[in-house]
Amino acid sequence: MKRILIHATMTFRAYYMFDGYPAAWEEDNYDRWFFSRDDRIIRRRTKGERNLTVHDLPGNPWEWDEPETDYLYRTTADELRRRLNRTGGYDRRALEAEFKRYKLKIARYDAPPFYVGEHRVDVPQRTNALRATTLDDWLLALQEVVTSGASRAKRGISPPTPAGPTFDTKALADIILTDQYPACDADLIPWHGMWGFPCSRFDHLAVALLEVIPGDAECVLNVTELVENDRVYCFEDLMLANEGSALA
C-alpha cells in the first residue's frame, strides 16, 4: 500500500473508515487493500446523514433531506480482522512487534526531530511518552479518539503536544491527532492518517483499530468522491444494474 497523505494538497479522496472513523485516505486513486470486488455496494442516504468526520452538512438546512449516494467497499470488523491475519499475517502479535520497533527507534533520541509542515522541530515529549507507556495505553487513547470523532481528515486539526512528564489517555489521544511525523528515520514515516499513533504501516494501525471497535462494526473503503468525479469507474456495472432494475 502506498504512503497516504504526506502532502497537504487535496483533490478527491478515497477514505478507509473503521466504524465511521477515517484512519487513512488517498487522493485521486485508491488501493483496494484487503477489500474485494464482492464487498462493493451502492448506498443511498440523505445529505443530513453525512459522516461529519470527513464532510460538513450543507449550509442550508433545507437541503438536509435531499438524497445522496455512497459508493463503498463494505465488510465487518471481524471479517476484516480475519483477512488481515489470513492474507497478510497482521494480528495483535505483529502490532506489538511494530510498537516495540517504533518505540526503540524513537527512544534512541532524547529529543527526536519531527516534521511540522516543512519545518523540523525537536520533540522530546514523544520519547518521554513512549518510554512511559505501553501499547495498551495507546489503544485506550485510540479508542477515545475514535469515540470522539476528532480527525485530521477534514480540517487537519492538531492539538498542542502534551508536555508531560506523565501522559494520561487524553494526552496520548492528543499525540495521535498531531500533524507531526518523524524526521529522524524514513522508516518511521506513517503510511496512514493518524500520524501520532506509534506505528508506521497502515496494516498495523488497522489491527489497532480493530482492537477498539465492535466485531460487527462496519469497515468501509469509501470511493464516492472518486466515482462522482470520474476518477475511477469500478462501480459502473453496479450502476448499470441498478438502472436496469429501476426500469424493469
Q: What is the DSSP string of 46-81?
A: EGGG--TTT-PPPSSGGGTTSEEEEEEEEEEHHHHH
Q: What is the DSSP letter of 234?
A: T
**Rounded to whole angstroms, how far apart are CA atoms 181 and 112?**
10
The structure's pTM equals 0.90
pLDDT value, residue 92: 97
Residue pair 155/121 in contact (Cβ under 8 Å)? The answer is no
Query: What's the first-to-final CA gap in the chain, in angstroms?
Result: 41
pLDDT value, residue 202: 98
pLDDT tens figures, 8-66: 445 899 999 999 999 999 999 999 999 999 999 999 999 999 999 999 999 999 999 99
Dihedral over Cα of 180, 135, 210, 170: its sign? negative
Cα 182 to Cα 25, 52, 104, 230: the distances in Å are 19, 29, 13, 35
Q: Count Cα atoms within 13 angstroms, Cβ side, for 65.
A: 1
**Rounded to whole angstroms, how far apart are CA atoms 168 and 162?**
10
pLDDT value, residue 156: 63
pLDDT value, residue 117: 76
Below-50 pLDDT ranges, the chain: 2-9, 247-248
pLDDT value, residue 241: 76
Strands in 180-182's sheet, in edge-to-edge order, are 119-122, 113-116, 180-182
Minimal CA–CA distance to 211: which of 99, 100, 73? 99
DSSP state letters, 118-163: TEEEE-HHHHHHHHT--HHHHHHHHHHHHHHT--HHHH---PPPP-
**Rounded to whole angstroms, how far apart are CA atoms 165 and 162?**
9
pLDDT value, residue 4: 46
Residue 5 is placed in which grid cell?
A: 497523505
* Coil, helix or strand at residue 40: strand
